[in-house]
Structure 1
Amino acid sequence: MPTAILSVLFFLSALLYSSVGHGGASGYLAVMGIVGVEPAMMKPTALCLNILVSAIAFWRFYSGKNFSWQIFLPLAVTAVPMAFIGGMTHLPSYFYKPIVGAVLVFSALYSFKSAKVLTADHSLKPVSKWLLAVVGSILGLLSGLTGVGGGVFLSPILLFSNWASPKVVAGIASAFILVNSMSGLLGLLMTGGKLPFELPIWLAVALVGGFVGATYGSKRLADPMLNKLLAVVLLIAGVKMLGIFEYMANYFW
């Protein structure tokens, strides 16, 4: 496993994602997919890095008063148990890779779209706690199954529905990712999941990247151009995980 290459890429992912309150799981999954890490190691690695970086992001955004307990609690109450169930579920490679690929493609589209939303004005709307609970349960299960924290889905829902401002969305997303990732990792470990030997190195670089990114993002919104560049990486990784490159190669050659 190319530890040095992954260390650099994990640092950059943590830096970029933490600036918008995310733990970076879709970024970690993307680079691992591109490098060719085996699926059995992708999920636990992404969850561990997610926990560390989202905790830093939550601390920075919460300290800056960019958070809403009224929105977060209904989401978390249903998301945490569903993330645990998802973490206990070990999908075979031929199921896991397409699902993660679809998540990465969605993440790419969201990154393109959010580059515009970050600079837009928002007229906030109230939201039902029951609706938030339903959203939380669905995203929690998806989080545990794939190793993402769910923030890449929660953020566009909150933003595009105008339920919270961009910075508050970042604070809520960081807390949501944190509790989901902890629950998902617990479920994974209880069913025999293994952690990679190189994990301490990757945690160290993610710690630095997450701290710098979260400190920057909690004070000012992320650069829209970074979101667009990130979207390109996610799209390439998603297409690779979906096997589209292999299909095209076989079809044309």
Structure 2
Amino acid sequence: METQLLLTGAAIGALSGFFGIGGGTILVPVLLMMGYDIKSAVGISVMQMVFSSLFGSWINHKKGFLDLREGAVIGLGGFAGALGSGWLVSEVPEIVLEVMFLAVIGFALYRFFHAPEYTESENGHELSPYLLAGVGAVIGLFSISMGIGGSILLTPILVGVLHYPLKKAVSAGLFFVVFSSVSGLISLSLAGQVDYFHGFIIGVASLAGVYAGIRLAAVTGHKKHKNALIVLYIIILGMMLKKVLGV
């Protein structure tokens, strides 16, 4: 089991670095297929996200991809929202969490299909910090409750609604995961919902993958990067539909 978890962690880390996600959107369905229940999968996933998001954001900052000011505003909002995740996971039935997960991925896929094209040289318009913090808070609450870092929902909102360039949005999304995952780990730990041993194994294994994924993203064109994200969402949506429908 440990070898399988190490390989899973490395693969999740690579996807995390490339797509700017915490990894929970992929890891939760994978853990469900490995036999974990949804609440154990959520706890392991959140712990892994702490590792991958911290390391990945440090690399993105060094490469100049990350706007720390706007990222911090969104992230602090996410931190505040994610503090309620322990209560939500403890009180809400598993089927509701699974349907929420499907809704998040479905929305993200819809927004990416309809997102306008922006080049990386476009900076967009100045956004209100209150708007950014509010968006972060809502995403933080619901995403951590589903075991995902929130960037899978935040990135399409930044690109499709708030007019961020894709690579800037991807970096901001991963930085957001730092705040939401740390907050979520605190909340879920207090609720007794974290498998620390398996979470640590996957988290450590993910670090090498994160580095490789960010390097690959840096040399990938906008259109190819966006299309890859759409394919990712479709795969995750299919995996969760299979789980929820029991087919």
Matched residues in 2 for 1:57 and 1:22: separation?
10
Matched residues in 2 for 1:29 and 1:108: separation?
18
Instruction: Give the partner amino acid of 1:23.
Output: G
TM-score computed with the length of structure 1 as normaliser: 0.82
Task: Name the structure 1 match of 2:93.
Answer: 92
TM-score computed with the length of structure 2 as normaliser: 0.83
Matched residues in 2 for 1:213 and 1:185: separation?
24
* Deviation readout 1:56-114 (Å, 9 max, x if unpaired): 22011111111223422332332212101113432332322222233344455567677
Aligned with residue 235 of structure 1, among 226, 234, 237: 237
RMSD: 2.8
Q: Check 1:103–1:74 CA distance in 2 against 1; reply closer, same or farther (3 A cut).
A: same
- The unaligned stretches of length 5 or more in structure 1 are 247-253
* Deviation readout 1:2-21 (Å, 9 max, x if unpaired): 55445434432321231132
* Deviation readout 1:180-219 (Å, 9 max, x if unpaired): 0000110110122231543333223212211211233245
Given that 2:119 and 2:165 are in contact with CA atoms closer than 8 Å, whether structure 1 keeps it comes out as no
State the 1:221 CA deviation.
4.8
Given that 1:49 and 1:202 are in contact with CA atoms closer than 8 Å, whether structure 2 keeps it comes out as yes
Moved over 6 A (4+): 111-114, 118-121
Instruction: Give the partner amino acid of 1:235.
Output: L
Please identify the structure whose Cα radius of gyration is greater: 1
Given that 2:108 and 2:156 are in contact with CA atoms closer than 8 Å, whether structure 1 keeps it comes out as no
Matched residues in 1 for 2:204 and 2:112: separation?
26
State the 1:27 CA deviation.
1.0
Larger mean CA deviation between 185-194 and 4-13 belongs to: 4-13
Task: Name the structure 2 match of 1:53.
Answer: 52
* Deviation readout 1:122-161 (Å, 9 max, x if unpaired): 5612222221122111111112311211111111111113
Given that 1:80 and 1:183 are in contact with CA atoms closer than 8 Å, whether structure 2 keeps it comes out as yes
Matched residues in 2 for 1:122 and 1:33: separation?
40
Larger mean CA deviation between 191-200 and 201-210 belongs to: 191-200
* Deviation readout 1:219-242 (Å, 9 max, x if unpaired): 545744643542342122121243
Task: Name the structure 2 match of 1:69.
Answer: 68
- The unaligned stretches of length 5 or more in structure 2 are none
Instruction: Give the partner amino acid of 1:200.
Output: F
Across the two proteins, how many residue pairs are aligned to each other? 243
Given that 1:111 and 1:230 are in contact with CA atoms closer than 8 Å, whether structure 2 keeps it comes out as no
Q: Check 1:111–1:49 CA distance in 2 against 1; reply closer, same or farther (3 A cut).
A: farther
Given that 1:86 and 1:184 are in contact with CA atoms closer than 8 Å, whether structure 2 keeps it comes out as yes
